[in-house]
Amino acid sequence: MNDAVKRRVMVLGARSEIGLAIARAFAAQGHPISLAARRAAELEAERADIALRHNVDVELLEFDVLETEALGPFVKDAPGLPSVVVSVIGAMGDQRDSETDVAAAAQVFRTNFEGPAQVLSLYAERMISEGAGGTLVGVSSVAGDRGRGSNYVYGSAKAGFTAFLSGLRNRLAGQGVHVVTVKPGFVDTQMTRGMDLPKALTAAPEEVGAAVQRAVEKQRNVIYVRPVWWLVMRIICALPEGIFKRTKL
> Which among 177, 93, 91, 94 is positioned nearest to 139, based on CA atoms?
91
Task: Give phi and psi for 165, each to the nearest 5.
Answer: -60, -40
- Show the DSSP H helices in the chain as ranges: 17-27, 44-54, 68-77, 95-100, 102-109, 115-129, 152-172, 205-217, 228-238, 241-244
Residue 232 and residue 201 in contact, taking contact as beta carbons nearer than 8 Å = yes
Residue 179 and residue 136 in contact, taking contact as beta carbons nearer than 8 Å = yes
Residue 154 annotated as catalytic? yes
Residue 67 burial (CB count, 10 A): 13
End-to-end CA distance of the chain: 38
115-154 b/e (C-beta count within 10 Å ≥ 16 → b): bbbbbbebbbebbeeeeeebbbbbbbbbbbbbbbeebbbb
Catalytic residues: 154
